Structure 1
Amino acid sequence: MAGVSTPLRRVPLVLTRVPFVLTLVTALTVAGCAGSRKPAAGPGTGTPAPSPSASAPTAPPDPAARAAQLVGTLADEDLVGQVLMPYAYGDSATRVSGGSAAGNRKLAGVDTPAEMIAKYRLGGLILVGFSADDPTSDTQPTTNVDNPAQVRELTAGIQAAAGKLPAGAAPALIGIDQEFGVVTRISEGVTNLPSAMAFGAAGDPALTESAWRAAGSELAALGVNVDFAPSADVLDARSHVIGSRSYGSDPKAAGAQVGAAVRGLQGAGVAATLKHFPGHGQTAADSHKGLPVVTVDRNKLEATALPPFSAGISAGAWLVMAGHLDVRAVDPGVPATFSRKLLTDVLRGQLGFTGVLVTDAMDMAAVAKESPGRTAVRALNAGNDLVLMPPNVTEAYDGVLAALRDGSLPRTRLVEAVTRVLTLKFRLAGQATPEMGTLNSAGHQEAARRAAESSITMLRGRCGGPLVTGSVTVTSASGRKQSRDRLSRALRAAGVRVAASGGSVVHLVGYGDGTADLRADAAVTVAMDTPYLLGQARSGVLLATYSSTTASLTALARVLAGKVRPTGRSPVPVSGLPRTSCPAS
């Protein structure tokens, strides 16, 4: 029955626990006093906020203890603001175009990102933007990303605005969806790793950790301290919204990759986020467009979907993102975002996660049917600590504040959430910021090259020697000129003649392509996203890169020229084809 909580079978886990119990007891004790104080200024009060620095004692060095101490000084308005993480329009914190100002006024009643932070005492902001192939584009109405220098100036401005808040002793959380592959927010001037599925094909967690450490150091240099990656979704259904964002279909192998990515990112000082709990790869539907239903039974959910989350928790991941998913085996009819059974009982109780739990974007169709205030309160009551991308900041803020004051959001729950958020912030405050010169450095490019080269998979063809002779013509479905140009340049560099027409056809297919986009006359067909379409291709040679980055297409060119052996293994099954036709020697 939907209203009865039945305990799930426990999965043996090795967990890394953060000592929150003492922190939260301390926080809740001081919160009793905080709740009885006259509220500090907030939107509409017309009075300045008090500064906690005048009489505050020296903060202890431990992040959890510092968080507990700070939370006791915060007024209701500050507590509410710390659990909100919206997006904002504009490429600068303080100077925006007329169009961006209009967007911010509609979203939050202010002109600039800095004003939004000040008015709502925000815990942080997420930087947004998308590419043509991005399956998340429906919820990305603007972009904050032009180039690395601009991003660094923007993040510095965000931190300057946040530093003036009563909670300003802790840095703002500045997040981004930098998964690589089809979900890549910053691509110019930085090292571009191949997709998660490419790392799954390479099958080397040490390589994954090294590459993600390089990527993390570049994000840190840009002032980004939270990456909403890696995807811990096991691809058990042909989900286009997840697709090559997943490390594969094997839970154990995917878990090893997820743990490696977490260690790499956090080793570089950037908080990693496991998503989309309890597993978006179990459904082919898209939560950007509606509420997907996960119909697998409990045993399969635990055996298939949960292991990568357990692995990421064991690796020390600081955040988990709740998915907008109707998991029928646990809490039928309730999106996981709003499900205490999934978020509190399973994630925290069974899997032992003690870090920050963040919602997926709250402007997605799966959860955006109610008012932003109502959905924010439901998410917090379910156990989320951070509400991401509410569709209207003013309504979300006012709704949470009203719920706090009328008791429908217990003060203890809000204090618990803020304490977790501040603990994460103080952890991040101790991380060094790399120089901008680390971007696109030779060592980082080498890490991307090794990952891409190790991922190239042959699913049909002769292993060894050149795969093409004479001249080559590179073709693709419409709209992939950049990929064709990248491969053509790489083929020439590898010594292969490239012709505009008349040569042996190397045909590229990517995200969103279908059977109609295949070519029957292609000598070689290459999948630059998931490899499923290769099961319907007639070419004598079938290859998968899982990615269309320069590094991936350069590696492909070297394989076609016979300079590199394609040692990758498909991390998902493809109908009628082996996982590899060229096993590692």
Structure 2
Amino acid sequence: MNSSPRRVVILALAVSLFASSCATDDAGPDGSGNGGAGSESSAGQQRSSAEEDAQAEHDAAVDEARQAREAALAGPGEEHYEQAAGIVAEMSLQQQAGQVLIGEYQGNDVESAAAQIQQLHLGGVILMGHNIPGGTSSVDTEALTGQLQVLAAADPQREVPPILSVDQEGGLVTRVGAPVTEWPTPMAYGAAYAADPERGLRLTRAGHQHMGRDLLDLGFTVSFAPNADVTIGAADPTIGSRSLGGDPEAVGNLAVAGIRGLAEGGLAGSVKHFPGHGSVTDDSHYTLPVQQADLEQLRSRDWVPFAQAVEAGVPMVMMGHIEVPALDPGVPSSLSAAAYEEIRSMGHEGVIVTDAMNMAATYGGGDQAAVSALAAGADLLLMPTSVPGAHAALVEAVESGELPAERLSEAAERVIALVLWQQDLAAGELAAGPDVPMPDILHEEDRGNDDGAADLEALRSSEAADVLLGEAVTVVEGQCEAPLVTDSIQIYGGTEQDRARLAAAAERAGISTGAGPVVTLLGGMTPGTGDVVVALDRPEGLASSTAGTKIALYGRTPESFDALLRVLTGEAAPGGLPVSVGEYGQGHSGC
């Protein structure tokens, strides 16, 4: 804008008169003009200083409240360990030997399982798919709750109840399904994180909180989740979509969020499977995988998430069955003192639980394997091939001096401290937990985040799962926010249940089936063809698929297919790839 000389003069004069007026009005007794101006400046400085002090005091209060919550959720406190030490000191050798064992049972024979808990003083049991009344996808929740109540009351004389555990990760590893909310694969969290790390973490924590609450309501106390395995993608035959992703730091952040969420739901979780199952090319269920990476490579990749989790504080770490020649040639990590020492050197003081001892990688998990694992540093032995045999072997090993009595007592103390902590957490006795309201100062702080994730805990579990899927679904190739289907679709691939669920979702969206664009569902890494190819679990199969549109869904739940239909009819697909898919790297989105 141009200014005339006259306007400039007037402006200058006005400024001069204003300055003169201020000088006259603010003059002190000596006419210097410093009295009023100095007072106003001083008052302003005082107000600024008071505001800074108030903000600093507020920030300190927020930090203190957050640290108290995180400490409560991180695992047993000193009081739990002290109480556990007193309980173990009064235990017999037979009781201590039982306390470090997690058994299993066949079908719904809960009475025999309860009898074994009482007779062998077992630390607890794990329920697998065949133990779930009604089946994993049509659960009789009333019967399941009744069975867990029988197990919990198996030995009323003991000071701490047995652990009632389950593998509940979401996706492929879902032991308790509908009508309990089914969650997508853990990789879905990684996809949400790839698009928006902060929101991805909040979604991960909220999702696991809902999962934990649902399991707690049924009667479970422990879920062996989340995975901290960093997947290498298509060459990883075992973990795949069970992994949170292929970036070590992202996996670590997400694993901590997941285990915190489980604790907020009232459950003890366990990061798994150290030393990392996502970068070996064999399956430890069937053979002993060999990790050929050197220690420098492992510490910069596979072990990063475990180190992050331990630094944050977690109640439990699971030891896998993997040979690491750089640590202990020829020995499964679950039987290797060097592997346990790695976890301890990170700073973990809580429970280290073995993966299932009946897997082939432990050479059949015989009775002696239980002694070897405990001697190496394990605290809790999961699913020995013979629970009575493992119990007898532990007792005999202590009596003969093969296994130091102090090692058994130490393990039993850690397990009991874990149980005591979980009880207090579930009962609302700590600074956080399922029935402990968030302090107002933190609630206000979180409300300041406008991403809406803080409100997820107020939703029903199924609604929260729907939100997560909407954030995770990823268009790898193709048009974004454009209708890909109109009136009807043809459905191919997947399982019968997958096709039925997609058809039901299409009907809910007003889309018929039997004609129109071909939507092909991939249940694994085998590529497919069609107008739209959708990877349901892991996305690597999309790399060699032929289609105009390729979508990674990360799940096959009803909510997954609803999310897919929203994208097919033109809504956004905000997720990013949590793992490389062909030429597309981590974080890629076609949108």
Common topology (TM > 0.5): yes
Q: In structure 2, what is the Cα distance between the partners aligned to 1:550 and 1:198? A: 15
CA contact (8 A) 1:569 1:579 kept: yes
Q: In structure 2, what is the Cα distance between the partners aligned to 1:366 and 1:321? A: 15
Q: In structure 2, what is the Cα distance between the partners aligned to 1:580 and 1:248? A: 10
Tell me the residue number matched to 1:220: 216
Tell me the residue number matched to 2:493: 476
Residue 508 of structure 1 aligns with an amino acid whose one-letter code is L
CA 145–221 in structure 1, closer or farther in 2 if over 3 Å, else same:
same
Match of 2:296 among 282, 285, 299: 299
Tell me the residue number matched to 1:30: none
Residue 253 of structure 1 aligns with an amino acid whose one-letter code is A
Describe the SS at the equivalent of 1:272: coil
Q: In structure 2, what is the Cα distance between the partners aligned to 1:496 and 1:537? A: 25
Tell me the residue number matched to 2:407: 413
Q: In structure 1, what is the Cα distance between the partners aligned to 2:76 and 2:258? A: 28
Tell me the residue number matched to 2:385: 391
Tell me the residue number matched to 1:190: 180
Match of 1:161 among 154, 158, 161: 154
How many residue pairs are counted as aligned between the two chains?
485
1:509 has 2:522 as partner: yes
Residues 419-467 of structure 1 deviation map (CA, whole Å, 9 limit, x = unaligned): 00010111122133679xxxx9952222111111111011100112212
CA contact (8 A) 1:83 1:387 kept: yes
Describe the SS at the equivalent of 1:276: strand
Describe the SS at the equivalent of 2:460: helix
Q: In structure 1, what is the Cα distance between the partners aligned to 2:575 and 2:137? A: 35
* TM-score, normalised with respect to structure 1: 0.79
Q: In structure 2, what is the Cα distance between the partners aligned to 1:19 and 1:215? A: 18
Q: In structure 2, what is the Cα distance between the partners aligned to 1:420 and 1:129? A: 28
The answer for unaligned runs of 5 or more in structure 2 is 1-69, 194-199, 428-433, 436-456
Residue 572 of structure 2 aligns with an amino acid whose one-letter code is R
Q: What does 1:12-51 correspond to in 2, within 5 Å? A: none
Residue 187 of structure 1 aligns with an amino acid whose one-letter code is G
CA 253–375 in structure 1, closer or farther in 2 if over 3 Å, else same:
same
Tell me the residue number matched to 1:39: none
Residues 283-334 of structure 1 deviation map (CA, whole Å, 9 limit, x = unaligned): 0210000000111121110111112112222343211110000012222211
CA 493–234 in structure 1, closer or farther in 2 if over 3 Å, else same:
same
Tell me the residue number matched to 1:124: 124
1:525 has 2:542 as partner: no
1:552 has 2:547 as partner: no
CA contact (8 A) 1:91 1:151 kept: no
Tell me the residue number matched to 2:506: 491
Residue 190 of structure 2 aligns with an amino acid whose one-letter code is G
Tell me the residue number matched to 1:541: 549
Q: In structure 1, what is the Cα distance between the partners aligned to 2:119 and 2:522? A: 47
Point out 4+ residue stretches in structure 1 off by more than 3 angstroms. Answer: 15-23, 142-146, 431-435, 577-584
The answer for unaligned runs of 5 or more in structure 1 is 1-14, 24-61, 95-111, 132-141
Q: CA deviation at 1:544?
A: 0.5
Q: In structure 1, what is the Cα distance between the partners aligned to 2:353 and 2:138? A: 22
Tell me the residue number matched to 1:272: 269
CA contact (8 A) 2:501 2:561 kept: yes
CA contact (8 A) 1:491 1:558 kept: no
CA 581–259 in structure 1, closer or farther in 2 if over 3 Å, else same:
closer
Q: In structure 1, what is the Cα distance between the partners aligned to 2:213 and 2:129? A: 21
Q: What does 1:20-99 correspond to in 2, within 5 Å? A: 62-91=79-108, 93-94=110-111
Q: What does 1:277-288 correspond to in 2, within 5 Å? A: 277-288=274-285
Residue 516 of structure 2 aligns with an amino acid whose one-letter code is G
Tell me the residue number matched to 1:113: 113
Q: In structure 1, what is the Cα distance between the partners aligned to 2:274 and 2:301? A: 12
Describe the SS at the equivalent of 1:162: coil
Q: CA deviation at 1:130?
A: 6.4
Q: CA deviation at 1:577?
A: 3.4
Match of 1:365 among 339, 343, 360: 360
Q: In structure 2, what is the Cα distance between the partners aligned to 1:221 and 1:310? A: 31
**How well do the aligned residues superpose, as a CA RMSD in angstroms?**
2.6
Residue 359 of structure 1 aligns with an amino acid whose one-letter code is T
1:241 has 2:242 as partner: no
Q: In structure 1, what is the Cα distance between the partners aligned to 2:138 and 2:113? A: 14
1:575 has 2:587 as partner: no
Which stretch has the larger CA shift, 329-338 or 307-316?
Answer: 307-316
Tell me the residue number matched to 2:471: 454
Q: In structure 1, what is the Cα distance between the partners aligned to 2:590 and 2:477? A: 12
Q: In structure 1, what is the Cα distance between the partners aligned to 2:137 and 2:103? A: 13
CA 404–363 in structure 1, closer or farther in 2 if over 3 Å, else same:
same
Match of 1:430 among 424, 428, 433: 424
Q: In structure 2, what is the Cα distance between the partners aligned to 1:475 and 1:235? A: 28
CA contact (8 A) 1:83 1:122 kept: yes
Describe the SS at the equivalent of 1:295: coil
1:352 has 2:347 as partner: yes
Tell me the residue number matched to 2:248: 251
Q: In structure 1, what is the Cα distance between the partners aligned to 2:419 and 2:396? A: 26
% identical aligned pairs: 36
Tell me the residue number matched to 2:45: none
Q: CA deviation at 1:356?
A: 0.6
Describe the SS at the equivalent of 1:327: coil
Q: In structure 1, what is the Cα distance between the partners aligned to 2:122 and 2:83? A: 19
Q: CA deviation at 1:186?
A: 0.1
CA contact (8 A) 1:227 1:272 kept: yes
Residues 36-93 of structure 1 deviation map (CA, whole Å, 9 limit, x = unaligned): xxxxxxxxxxxxxxxxxxxxxxxxxx21111011111001100100011010124253
Q: CA deviation at 1:470?
A: 4.1
Q: CA deviation at 1:255?
A: 1.0
Describe the SS at the equivalent of 2:269: strand
Q: CA deviation at 1:475?
A: 0.8
Q: CA deviation at 1:163?
A: 2.7
CA 483–364 in structure 1, closer or farther in 2 if over 3 Å, else same:
same
Q: CA deviation at 1:193?
A: 1.5
Q: CA deviation at 1:581?
A: 6.7
Q: In structure 2, what is the Cα distance between the partners aligned to 1:483 and 1:18? A: 37
Describe the SS at the equivalent of 2:153: helix
* TM-score, normalised with respect to structure 2: 0.78
Q: In structure 1, what is the Cα distance between the partners aligned to 2:499 and 2:95? A: 51
Structure (1 or 2) with the greater helix fraction = 2
Q: CA deviation at 1:210?
A: 0.6
1:173 has 2:170 as partner: no
CA 581–270 in structure 1, closer or farther in 2 if over 3 Å, else same:
closer
Q: In structure 2, what is the Cα distance between the partners aligned to 1:301 and 1:152? A: 42
Q: In structure 1, what is the Cα distance between the partners aligned to 2:351 and 2:136? A: 26
Tell me the residue number matched to 1:404: 398
Residue 473 of structure 2 aligns with an amino acid whose one-letter code is I
Match of 1:443 among 456, 460, 467: 460
CA contact (8 A) 2:138 2:178 kept: no
Describe the SS at the equivalent of 2:149: helix
CA contact (8 A) 1:76 1:401 kept: yes
Q: CA deviation at 1:576?
A: 2.5
Q: In structure 2, what is the Cα distance between the partners aligned to 1:152 and 1:145? A: 14
CA 581–120 in structure 1, closer or farther in 2 if over 3 Å, else same:
closer
Q: In structure 1, what is the Cα distance between the partners aligned to 2:105 and 2:223? A: 17
Describe the SS at the equivalent of 1:262: helix
Residue 353 of structure 1 aligns with an amino acid whose one-letter code is H
CA contact (8 A) 2:224 2:271 kept: yes
CA 17–410 in structure 1, closer or farther in 2 if over 3 Å, else same:
farther
Residue 408 of structure 2 aligns with an amino acid whose one-letter code is L
CA contact (8 A) 2:137 2:176 kept: no
Residue 360 of structure 1 aligns with an amino acid whose one-letter code is D
CA contact (8 A) 2:323 2:329 kept: yes
Residue 151 of structure 1 aligns with an amino acid whose one-letter code is L
Tell me the residue number matched to 1:463: 480
CA contact (8 A) 2:74 2:315 kept: no
Q: In structure 1, what is the Cα distance between the partners aligned to 2:559 and 2:130? A: 20
